Structure formats: C-alpha cells, structure tokens
Amino acid sequence: MTQEEVLAASHVVVGMITLNAQQVYALLDPGATHSFVSTKFIHKLNMSKCILQKGLTVSTPLGERVDINEKYRGCNVQIGGQNLQVDLISLTIQDFDVILGIDWLGKHHVNMDCYNKIVTSNVTEGKKVEYKGERRVILGSIISAMTVRKLLRNGCQAYLAYVVDNEK
C-alpha cells in the first residue's frame, strides 16, 4: 500500500504526533497487532531498549517475515494534547516513523473514526480529547483502462495529460 493509498484508506488514520518530544509521522492502524518505530528514527528518540525474553516474528503487509528481539518501553506519545505511554518494537518502515497498533489503541481506550480520520480518547476523567488526522480523497472520476477502451470504441474522445507535482 502506497502512502497516498494509506491517506485515502478508510481503515487507518495518518498524521503528525509527538513521540518523546519529537514530531513524528504516524500511522494509527487498528489492524496492526503491535506498535512499531522505524529503525531509522530510533536514535532521535532517546529511548532505551530492552531485549525480549521470547523473540517475536512479524509478518509485514508485503508478506515478509521479520524476527524481532528488542522493544522500547514506556515511550511518551502525545495525541490531541494528551500524554499516553506506548511500548514500541523496532522495524524497518519506509513511509512512517511510527505505527500505533491495536495493542496501544485498546490499552488507552482510544476510539477511531477512520473514515473521518478522527481519534478520540477519554483517558482523563471527564475530558474528551480529539485528534484529526490527515485526509485525502481519491477522486471518484478515476476510471479503469477497460472502461476507457470501451468508451473510445464507442466514439468518445480522450485526452492524455501528464501532471508533475512540484510541491513535493
């Protein structure tokens, strides 16, 4: 899944959060069984690792299996102005600094409205905390090559455009 597809997906939330006083790009994924930190970002977070007594094998979305034997405990995550703790497993991640999985979400009674990209928590008594993630919508006007071929055969005109995004 590409970063653009993740931003448009209706089952996750993506955005900037604070982890150990550092801004990080995070994927909040209720489908992930554990929470992870990118191996390239670990040195910036000033975290001490502990060795797991029992190793862990993680299956990635690409079908790879990765053996893991270290964890970073008690990392401070700030979402919507609220400080929460998370244990992170180091993993080679390309598009995100952190992935927060169901282990963290369930522990802190976090509710996710993935379609609207809103995360709410009631950890502090009587105080509802809300965080809005990034949202991008893939246009509904994108059609398949098969549909285009059929329309062209039926006499419709087509224009080919090449767009370059200079903002990135």
Q: 70-101 pLDDT, tens per residue?
A: 888 888 888 777 788 888 988 888 888 998 88
Residues 119-134: what's their mean pLDDT? 72
Query: Is residue 53 pLDDT above 70, yes or no?
Result: yes
pLDDT band at 138 (very low <50, low <70, confident <90, very high): very low
Residue 160 within any structural domain of the chain: no
Please report the pLDDT score of residue 83 as a whole number.
Answer: 81
Residue 110 within any structural domain of the chain: yes
Residue 111 within any structural domain of the chain: yes
Residue 144 within any structural domain of the chain: no
Domain holding 32, by residue range, is: 3-132
Query: Is residue 148 pLDDT above 80, yes or no?
Result: no
List, as own/partner pairs, every contact residues 32-35 make where C-beta atoms lie below 8 angstroms and the sequence separation is at least 24, other chains included. Answer: 32/99, 32/100, 32/101, 32/102, 33/101, 33/102, 33/103, 34/58, 34/89, 34/101, 34/103, 35/86, 35/87, 35/88, 35/89, 35/98, 35/99, 35/100, 35/101, 35/103, 35/104
Domains contained in the chain, number: 1
Please report the pLDDT score of residue 5 as a whole number.
Answer: 55
Q: What share of the chain is helix, strand, coil (3-state, %, to 5)?
A: 15, 40, 45
Residue 55 within any structural domain of the chain: yes
Q: 10-52 pLDDT, tens per residue?
A: 678 888 888 888 889 888 888 888 889 988 888 887 778 888 8
CATH of the domain at 20: 2.40.70.10
Please report the pLDDT score of residue 55 as a whole number.
Answer: 80
Please report the pLDDT score of residue 12 as a whole number.
Answer: 81
Query: Is residue 4 pLDDT above 60, yes or no?
Result: no
Residue 120 within any structural domain of the chain: yes
